[in-house]
Each structure stands twice: as structure tokens, then as C-alpha cells.
Amino acid sequence: MKRERTLRQKLTPFFFLAVAIPIIIFACLSMYRLERSIRASLDRQIAGNMNKADQCLDMVLDKYGTLLYDLCTDDEVISLVEEINRNQDGLEVNSNYLRRELSHICNRNRGIEGITVITAEGRTIYYDHLSASSAGSSWASEVTAPAVTEGPVYEGITEPVTSGKESVYMLRIARRLVDYEDIHKEVGTVVMSMNEDLLTEALDAWDIAENYLVHDNLIISAPDNNDIGKTIDEIKKEEYEYTSVVNERTGFTIYNRQSLKAYHDTFYEQGIFWLLITAAAVGIVFVLVYVLTRPYLKEIDTIADAMNEVEQGNFRTEVAVNDKMPVEIRKICNGFNEMVKHIEMLIEQVKAAILEQKNAELSALEAQIDPHFLYNTLDTINWKAIERGEFEISEMVGALADILRYTVKNAGGETSMEQELYWLRQYIILQSAKAGKEILVRLDVPDSLRGCRIHKLLLQPFVENAIKHGMKRKEGECRIDISMHGTEHQIHIIITDNGTGMDTSTLARLNSQEFENDTEYASNHLGITNVRKRLRLYYGEQADVYFESRPGSYTKVHLFIPAVPAGEGGTRA
């Protein structure tokens, strides 16, 4: 069984998808672009950083390399060392001069912690800037000459030099002493020991990254001196990216350690941002769906409630219509209200018909008290009258018995026009006898209409009224004309009396629709009231009656009923 869903429930998922899908697609694209752009910017940053580190390293080494170059090609220094090599240094004059030269260089240039000259003959002459001594040094005297063929040789030292309390890491640059007049002559080698701090400064990448200088797979310069001597693998951590470049001057590798935290954070923040956007958009859509559908749903609920009311039988229910309503809803409400009114009217009509039927049946019951008794009595009276030669009485009683029989038998049922007219004649005989006046009856009925069906006693109240009111004070000939005209669907019956007529106000009342509501008047003209009710009951809106009169001259009753040919239709009573 499929679950029933409201309009709102049906709409909401579509609105949700319509908003969420584009946002999610845009979010994905945006995240993708962002990722690429951050990645590119990070790569640029790393490349820039490495480039800068490489250049700064070159600049620092260039400065100290130039100092060393100048020292190694200084003609005076060369000749001093050559003198020493030739053992012409009895009083150490040359060595002392050289030491002074070395100390000058160390003292003038920050970062040079010592210079050691190893002559071709194997003598070591040095200056140790850390202990400011050229006579006693724990390390400068131990420096050995690396194999130098041409240019400078760079060597990172992973074991710190201890002098006093401080431990100092060094970078050594070694160079041959070159006599330009004979560049192949072995004069000696100079080793300059630079403080590793200079490298750290050169490689400093502020706080955005860390640079490491690696020689033979061992770190020789690092932001944290504790890392010196380790391999790059030993300091590797998660969340960091490692990039390397080889410094062409030294052959050392510069490792860049870039934290990826900012990169990940940005990405994460962007993700959250898009999530919030999606949530906000979806929220807004939900609110919009709720707010926009609410008035419609409210109206629809009202209509549904009204329908329920009507279902319960309350036909007084009406849906209030106002201008604020959308035109569609207004149409529905108006239609509903019309429909309910219509149904109510129909039901009222049905109710009235049922009531009339019941009343008629009651009347019939009353009339059937004991018809045989009445017939027998009238028969007896007839015989008595014949016995006594009273033939007029006999005729009256006979007519009365006919009337009784006609009325009692199937009262309100249908009969033929012929019979109704026959019965009317009998009735008029009785009435004229009762009034003591002869009443002439003139019939003008085409034969084609004589067979038409008509409800019993429908014309009787008009004849009765004509005799009762029109002829009561009439002098002279009294005449009642009954004429009929037929059309295809309707029969027009005109009952004319040449009685006293009636005044205009009475006429107006009789013709007015309010006539029935005027209870006082209706009780005085019960017959007419009944005829009208019966007409409505039998024929609905298809029958009508109106009166025409000129006081002292005549009264005409026009009666219109549907033409029902003989043998057709049936009684609705």
C-alpha cells in the first residue's frame, strides 16, 4: 500500500533537489578549482622559496667564496706560504704574518669561525676565531685538507665543534693556494670554517616553511641544530611536503619542508562554507515552500471542511470568498457555494413533495371512513325520493354519489380530461341546486385534448370559487365557460365566470408569489393555495396559474399544464 502524501510532501523533494543539486555541482567544481589553484599557488610558493633559498645560499657562499678566493690568490699570501714551504721561516716571521692575516679576515667577517692553512709541506697554520687563538685550538689545528683539484670544495660538518660552552656546527670551504705564474705548483690548501648559522639565515623561509641543507644524505644545516647529522628520512613527518633542489655551486641538496596545514585548512573551511550555503539554501526553500503553499492549503482545508459539513447535512454551509484569494480558489469556492445552494433547494422540494403526499394520503383516509355506508345511505335516499316522486332529489343524490365515488377512488391520481369534465358537470349540478340558481356550463374543448391526462379535482377549486364568490350575489344568468387550447407541450385551460369579479388588490394578491406566504390570506383561499401547491408538486416549474378579472363583469382563470397525451406518462403522486 502506497503511503499517501500531501501536496507539500510531494513538492518538497523536487524543490530540495532543484536547489541542492546545482549547489552541490557548483560546490564540487569550485572545490576542484580551489584545490588546483591552492595547489598551484603552493607549488609556486615552494618553487619561490627554494629558488630564494638557493640564491641566498649562493650569495652567502659567494661572499665567503670570494674572501677565500682572494686569500688563496693573494700574491703576498702565496709568497709567504712559498717561503714557509722553502723552510725559510726560521723565526716564524712568515707564519706569524700569515696568522695575523688570517685573524684579520676572521675578525672582519662575521661567521668565519676559523681558517686553517695546510701547506704543501704539511705544516698547519690556523686562526681559531671561537677561542681567538692561533696557538691553541681544539679543532682548527685538526682540520685536514680535502682533495681539491679546482675551485672551492664545500664540506658540511655534522659533528659540532665545542669551544667553551657553545657547540658550533660548521661548513668548510677548501681551496688550493694558486700561484698564478704557475697554477700547477702545489703551494697549499686553505680551509675556511663558516658558522652554520650563516646557512640557516640564508635558508630561512620565515614561518611558511623550513629548509634543510643535505650533503651526502646527511643534514648539515637545519632550523633546529638538533636535526643536524640526521638523514632527511629521519625528520620526515606527516602533513608536510618535501621538495628538493640541488645547489649547483656546492652540490648540496636543499630540502624544503612545507607544512600542508594551511592548505588543508583552507580546503576544509571552503567545504564547510559550501555545506552552510547548501543548508541555508535548502532551509530557505523549505520555508518558501511552506509559506507559499500555506494560504492555498488553508483555503483548500476550508473547502474540505465545508464539504464535510455538507456531508453531515448542513446545507447552510458557505465558504467565505474574498478578493485576496487566487482566482482559481475563488472559482472553486463560488462553484461549491452554488452547488450547495442548488442541492439544498432540490432537497427542500423533495421534502415538500413527501409532506404533501402524506397529507393527501391522510385526507384520503379520512374520506374513506365508510364509503359503503355513505353509498347505501344515498341509495336509500334516492329510492325514498323516487318513491315519493321527488326526481330532482333523486338526480341530486345520484350526482352526489358520483362525486363521492370519483373523489374517494384514487384521490389525486390521474384521469382523462373527458372524465374530469364529466365530473365537473355533476359538481356544478349540485352546486347550482345548492345555490338555487341555474348555472350554465359551456365547454369549448377540442376532441384532441379530451383524452389528455390531468390530475383529478385540479379544476374543481376554480369552479368552486367561481360559484362561491362570483355568483353569490349575481343577478341574472350565471355562466361558466371552460375552454382549452393545446400546443405541442402545453394545455392552456381558461375557466371564465360572468360573476361579480374581484377588486384589483385581491387580484394582485392572488397573482403574487407572496400569496402563499401570507398565512392569513391563504387560510381564506385555501382552495387556491392548495391548487398552487399541487401544481408545483405535480408539474414543478412546468405549470402555472394566473387570474384575470373585471369587477362586476367576469373572472378568468388561466391554467397552464404540460400536455400529456392519453396512455403516456404517469402520475407522480
Partner 1 sequence: MRRTGTSASVILICLLVVALAAGSITGCKKEEKAETKEKAELVLWHYWDLPHQRRTLEALVDDYNQSQDDVRVKTRYIPDADFKKELALSMADGNTPDIALVDSVDFQFFNSMQPFVDLTDDIEELGQYLPAAVEPCTAEGRTLGLPAGLNCTALFYNADMFEAAGLSVPGTWEAFYDAARLLTTDDICGYAQIALKGEESLYAFLPILWSMGGDVDAIDSPESRQAFELLRKMARSGYLGKESISLTGSDLAGQFADGKVAMMFNSIMMADHIRERNPELDFGMTYLPSDGERVSAVGGEIFGVMEGDNEKASVAFLRYISEVDRLSSYIDGLGLLAPRKDVMDRQFAGDALLRGGADIFKTARMREISPEWPRVSAVIAEAIDEAIAGGKSVETILDETSGAIRGIREGAR
Which positions lie near partner 1, rule CB under 8 A? Answer: 10, 14, 17-18, 21-22, 25-26, 29, 32-33, 69, 73, 149-151, 176, 178, 180-184
Supply 434's cell numbers: 345548492
Task: HSE, CB side, 13 Å, CA atoms: give it for residue 190.
Answer: 31
182 or 238: CB nearest partner 1: 182
> Contacts for 506-515 with beta carbons within 8 Å, 24 or more apart?
507/547, 507/548, 507/549, 510/547, 511/546, 511/547
Per DSSP, 328 falls in state H
Question: Whose CA is closest to 449, among 341, 338, 565?
Answer: 565
DSSP letters, 491-508, are EEEEEEE-S----HHHHH
Phi, psi of 457 (to 5 degrees): 65, 20
Per DSSP, 518 falls in state -
14 or 546: CB nearest partner 1: 14
Shortest reach from residue 158's CB to partner 1, in Å: 27
d(CA 14, CA 290): 14
Shortest reach from residue 159's CB to partner 1, in Å: 29
181 or 520: CB nearest partner 1: 181
Shortest reach from residue 156's CB to partner 1, in Å: 21
Q: At what angle do helices 75-85 and 7-73 cross, to 10 degrees?
A: 60
Shortest reach from residue 17's CB to partner 1, in Å: 6
User: Cell match 406566504: residue?
Assistant: 517
77 or 157: CB nearest partner 1: 77
56 or 78: CB nearest partner 1: 78
d(CA 409, CA 414): 11
Supply 163's cell numbers: 669551544
The C-alpha angle 129, 135, 137, rounded to 5 degrees, equals 55
Question: Whose CA is closest to 569, among 466, 470, 452?
Answer: 452
Shortest reach from residue 536's CB to partner 1, in Å: 49
The C-alpha angle 412, 416, 420, rounded to 5 degrees, equals 70
Residue 188 φ/ψ region, left for φ over 0, alpha for ψ in the -120 to 50 degree band, beta for the rest: left
Shortest reach from residue 109's CB to partner 1, in Å: 21
d(CA 441, CA 460): 14
118 or 187: CB nearest partner 1: 187
Pairing outcome for strands 112-119 and 188-195: antiparallel
17 or 355: CB nearest partner 1: 17
Shortest reach from residue 180's CB to partner 1, in Å: 4
The residue type at 533? K
Is-contact 403 433, C-beta < 8 A? no
Shortest reach from residue 23's CB to partner 1, in Å: 9
Question: Whose CA is closest to 235, among 246, 224, 245?
Answer: 224
d(CA 510, CA 91): 167
545 CB neighbour count, 10 Å cutoff: 17
Question: Whose CA is closest to 549, among 484, 513, 515, 498?
Answer: 498
Shortest reach from residue 168's CB to partner 1, in Å: 29
Query: Dihedral through CA 81, CA 85, CA 89, CA 94, nearest 10?
Result: 0
d(CA 196, CA 193): 9
